[in-house]
Amino acid sequence: MAALPVFTVVLLALGFSRGFQHHFVEEEPELVAGPSQYGSLWPLPQKVHISDVSFKLSSSNFQITDAKESSAGPSCNLLQSAYRRYYEYVFVGPKNQKRGRDQPAGPSEVTELQVWITSPDSDCDSFPTESSDESYELSVDQPVAVLKAPKVWGALHGLETFSQLVYEDEFGAKTINSTVISDFPRFAHRGVLLDSSRHFIPVKVILANLETMAMNKFNIFHWHIVDDSSFPYLSQTFPQLSEKVRNRDGYRIRYFLRYRPNSIVPTEHRFTSFETVPRFGILNETSVDWKSNPDIQKFMEQQGFGQDFTKLESFYIQRLLDIVTTTQKGYMIWQEVFDNGVKLKPDTLIHVWKGNQQSYQREMANITSAGYRTLLSSPWYLNRIAYGQDWQAIYKADPQDFKGTDDQKKLVIGGEACLWGEFVDATNLTPRLWPRACAVAERLWSAKEVTDTNDAFNRLAVHRCRLVERGIPAQPLYTSYCPREYKGI
């Protein structure tokens, strides 16, 4: 069979740059990455001094060890497994470094990172609490770098910071500069909300995102596990709850609490919160259902509610809060419970998620003025997507940026990046969350004054390449390239 002539279209992309605004006009200016004086540290520590003096690290001549004075030793599996993990992160990348592996340590080489837990109780076997100490101090010198922290929580953060200080020189050799860092979080509550009700999220995806949270010093995993759409929580006590689960798979929570024996939930994350009774529909109590349900109509008559479903709702919530109170647990509510005037315990935590900037700032002012503690999510609904560098707006929002007294500001305990699940599943969750959630992470960890968007861009561009190197498909911020690009599809 004779081959027909090939019709090749030669596409001439002609026209000036005016004609090539394929990029469109952005609300935020497009930034182009350059080097930051803070390297690729993310989130930026409270106090950093990086000198020009640099040392090498060699995979054959480097170890992470317990300082002999440390209150945590070889029996602290939490730290030991973190040492192994961060050793891998430090030496991620091509294995064939230019420098000979058997070469003895030179005078300018860091051969050891000593981890020193200074408090008598390291917290190694504890679950973290709201007031756990997450601070640490890191001193990088040769031949020994020292990481000091009162508790294991700070040590875990410091290990991440140490790994972020390591870079490759022009020959690919792992390098670190002489550095002194003193660090602690600005806010105690730094969370990410994932929603496994609208789409099932495979366990391995959740675990990978827990790891990524730790790389960004998040400490709360807020798991919106069930909702109207599906009930994938498999309760051992009430198995009938999940009988009507529409997904084939479900979560056995024990598995998560045991992820990395004795560790991940209580370590990288202060505590894990599970939402209970997230919406009424699943209990056949959406407002529509309520109206059409004769039992509920009868109940409302008995209670004298008339046709006022708000009263029914308040009744329901009040009962629920009473029950929760008997469990001696704290509780956290979405803002509308406060807005609707339901009676709340003084230690109630109120989650602000509605409205534009003006509106959520007013809400934060009202809540704190009433003496309640609060956390912010309104500007951090990362399920909302837009074309361009939307991380900048995410980065600029500040939970303490509202009109109020210093005492009011102290009632702000942090915030959460929320990724609701209507349009998200395992196919797109991770790149949609990262590095956009990184912007929230820095806002919640770093000092209030850390607001230089250009410097943030420079550090974040490299940080996102680091996530990619660690196997996390974090999407690009803008036109760019990584030393080692993502290997999946």
In the window 226-285, what residues touch a copy of itself (CB under 8 A)? 229-230, 246-249, 271-281
How many angstroms separate the CA atoms of 280 and 290, rounded? Answer: 10
Count of residues making up the chain = 489
Instruction: By CB under 8 A, name the one of 74, 95, 243, 481 that touches a copy of itself.
Output: 481
User: b/e per residue, 181-212, with b = 16+ CB within 10 A?
Assistant: bebbbbbbbbbbbbbbbbbbbeeebbebbbbb
Instruction: By CB under 8 A, name the one of 28, 425, 455, 469 that touches a copy of itself.
Output: 425
To a copy of itself, the closest distance from the beta carbon of 146 in angstroms equals 23
To a copy of itself, the closest distance from the beta carbon of 374 in angstroms equals 13
Q: Is residue 366 near a copy of itself by the rule CB under 8 A?
A: no
Q: Is residue 194 near a copy of itself by the rule CB under 8 A?
A: no
To a copy of itself, the closest distance from the beta carbon of 466 in angstroms equals 13
- Closest to a copy of itself by CB, 97 vs 212, is 212
Q: Which residues, in sequence order, are bridge partners of residue 175?
A: 56, 167
Classified as helix, coil or strand, 324 is helix
To a copy of itself, the closest distance from the beta carbon of 161 in angstroms equals 24
User: Which of 415, 411, 435 shows the shortest CA–CA distance to 222?
Assistant: 415
What is the enclosing helix (H) or strand (E) of 159? helix 152-165
Instruction: By CB under 8 A, name the one of 143, 172, 355, 388 that touches a copy of itself.
Output: 388
To a copy of itself, the closest distance from the beta carbon of 392 in angstroms equals 13
Q: Hey, what are 338's tokens?
A: 């406060």
- Closest to a copy of itself by CB, 184 vs 315, is 315
Binding letters toward a copy of itself, positions 123-142, x by CB under 8 A = xxxxx-xx------------
Sign of the alpha-carbon dihedral angle for 260, 82, 68, 135: negative
To a copy of itself, the closest distance from the beta carbon of 12 in angstroms equals 5
To a copy of itself, the closest distance from the beta carbon of 472 in angstroms equals 8
User: Exposure of 137 by Cβ count < 10 A (0-12 exposed, 13-18 middle, 19+ buried)?
Assistant: buried
Residues in 299-358 at the binding interface with a copy of itself, rule: CB under 8 A: 309, 313, 317, 320-321, 324, 327, 329-334, 336-337, 340, 342, 349, 351, 353
Q: Which stretch binds a copy of itself (CB under 8 A): 86-94, 155-163, 172-180, 475-483?
A: 475-483
Question: In Å, what is the CA distance from 418 to each residue of 129, 353, 435?
Answer: 22, 9, 13
* The 189-195 sheet, strands edge to edge: 220-224, 189-195, 412-419, 373-376, 349-352
Any idea which residue has 């395992």 for tokens?
426
Taking CA 280 as the corner, what is the angle to CA 286 and CA 289, rounded to the nearest 5 degrees? 25
Residues in 197-226 at the binding interface with a copy of itself, rule: CB under 8 A: 198-200, 202, 204-205, 208, 222, 224
